[in-house]
Amino acid sequence: MSDAADLTATQLLAEYAAGTLSPVEAAQAVLARIAREDPKLNAFCLVDEETTLDMARAAGDRWRRGATLGPLDGVPVSIKDVLLTRGWPTLRGSTTIDPDRSWDEDSPSVARLREQGAVFAGKTTTPEFAWKGVTDNPLTGITRNPWDTSRTPGGSSGGAAAAVAAGMAPLALGTDGGGSVRIPAAFTGTFTIKPTYGRIPHYPASPFGTLAHTGPMTNTVADAALLLDAVCGADGRDWSALPPPDVPFTEAGPDDLTGLRIAFSPDLGFAAVDPEIAATVATAAEFFTELGAKVEQADPGLGGDPVGEFEVLWFAGAAKVVEHLPPGARARLDPGLREICAQGERYSAVEYLTATARRMELGRIMGLFHERYDLLLTPTMPIAAFEAGLEAPPGSPSPRWTGWTPFTYPFNMTQQPAANLPCGFTADGLPIGLQVVGARHADALVMAACAAYEKARPWRRLTGR
C-alpha cells in the first residue's frame, strides 16, 4: 500500500514495530490527506500541523528508544469538537463560545490518548452542541459524505466518520446521545460501537444526561478494540464511570459464535425500512448462522416507538445547553436547535419523570429479552444517506432528526452497547449498516460477534482497497 494514510491503526503499529514506517511519516500522510480531501468534505474544524508533527516526532523518538507509552503510541486520532482538548478550543460547532478563553483541560478519553502517546490529527465537526443526526452548524457549515459529497455523513459525529472513511485519521473519538456514532458510521461504511454507559468516562457531564456516550470510530473492529482499551476505565470526574474490563477488548470474545442465541428484528415492531436496506440487512443477519449462531426473528416488544419520551429527554437537555445564553447569542443558534430548546423549556418536571419512567421500563424489557437472546440485530438506519444540509430527508414523517432514526435512540435510553457493522451497499453505492446490540455490560460479546462477521465477510472500504 503506497499511502500510509490508508493503513489501519493495527497496520501502522506493525509498521512502527518493524521499523518500516515512522509516526512522523504517518502523520505527514494523514495531514496531506486532510489537505487534499477536507476542502471537499469539511470534516475538520481545527487542524494544527505543528502540534500534530511535534506529537509524532516525540512518538518516533520513543519508538526508536523502545520506550513507547502505550499501544496507541504514534497513531493518528481525530477528536470530535465536543470533547475538551488541552491547548485547542472546543467550540461545539457554535458561534456562542469564545475561542480565546483558557483551554487547559482534557476530557477523560482525550487525556488517556495523550498519556498513551497518540498523535492528535485535529478536531472534527459536529452540529451545534451535537443536537441532531446530521452534521452542519452556523460556525463551520456543512460536512459531506466521502462516498457521495452531495449526501450527509450523518451526525452528530459526522466529521469523525467522514475523517475515518476518507483516510484522514484511522481512529476517531465520537459521542452518541441518540445514535451519534452509529448514524454516521452506517452512512459512511465505517465501524463503531456505542459502549455500555459509563464504559468510557465522560467529562464535562453532558447536559443530555445519561443518554450520552463516548465511542470509538474506525475502519475495523480490531482498531476499535485498540481504541476502547486505551480510553476505558474510571475517572474521578465522572461519578458513573465503570472500572476497566477484566479482559482487554483486544483479547476478549470467543473465536467462533457456536451456540450464540441471536434475535433479528427487522423493524423493532414499529419502524418503516427502505426495502433495499431491509433485504441487505436480513441477508447479513442470516449469515450469523454460518458462524455457528442460532438466529431467529424476534421483536423485543418495546411497546411502540419511544420517540416521544426520548424527545422530552433530548429537547429538555438542549434547553439546558443554552439556558445561560443572552437573547443576542440565542438568535445566532441553528434555527432547528432554537425550536427544540423552546419546546424543551415548556416541559414540566412531571413530564420529564414520566419520560424517565418509560426509559426504565424499556430497560426492564430489554433486560428480560437478553435472558433469552445474547444479541439483537436490527438495521442501523432505515434509509441511506440523503442530501447534505437537511435535518430530515424529503417525505420524512417528522421535520426533526428523530423521525428517521428509530433504531438508534432506544438503546441510548437503555444504555446498552450497540455497534454499527457495515454489511453492504445500495444500488447507488451508498453504505448500509447492521446494528448489533448486546445486554448492558456485554460490550466484549458485541465486539466478538462483529469481529467474527468482519473476518468472514470483510467490507469494502472507501480507501485502502
pLDDT tens per residue across span 57-112: 999 999 999 999 999 999 999 999 999 999 999 999 999 999 999 999 999 999 99
Taking the CB of residue 86, how many other CB atoms lie within 10 A of it? Answer: 15
Per DSSP (E only), the strands in 73-223 are 76-80, 119-124, 136-137, 141-142, 171-176, 191-194, 213-218
Question: With a cut of 50, which residues of the chain have pLDDT below it?
Answer: 1, 465
Measure the CA–CA gap between 307 and 409, rounded to whole angstroms: 8
pLDDT at 381: 98
The gap between the terminal CA atoms of the chain, to the nearest Å, is 9
Amino acid 157 reads S
Measure the CA–CA gap between 446 and 312, rounded to whole angstroms: 29
User: Model pTM?
Assistant: 0.98
Beta-ladder partners of 378 = 435
Measure the CA–CA gap between 173 and 206, rounded to whole angstroms: 16
pLDDT at 188: 98
Is residue 354 packed enough to be buried (19+ CB in 10 Å), middle (13-18) or exposed (0-12)? middle
Pair 44, 34: CB distance under 8 Å: yes
pLDDT at 254: 72
Per DSSP (E only), the strands in 323-398 are 375-379
Query: To the nearest 10°, the Cα dihedral for 376, 314, 308, 354?
Result: 100
Residues 6+ apart with CB under 8 A from 107: 83, 84, 85, 202, 203, 204, 214
pLDDT at 178: 98
Pair 93, 189: CB distance under 8 Å: no
pLDDT at 2: 65
Measure the CA–CA gap between 78 and 381, rounded to whole angstroms: 24
pLDDT at 256: 85
Taking the CB of residue 396, how many other CB atoms lie within 10 A of it? Answer: 16
Q: Which residues are catalytic?
A: 80, 156, 180
pLDDT at 27: 98
Q: What domains lie within the chain, and their CATH numbers?
A: 4-456 (3.90.1300.10)
pLDDT at 253: 74
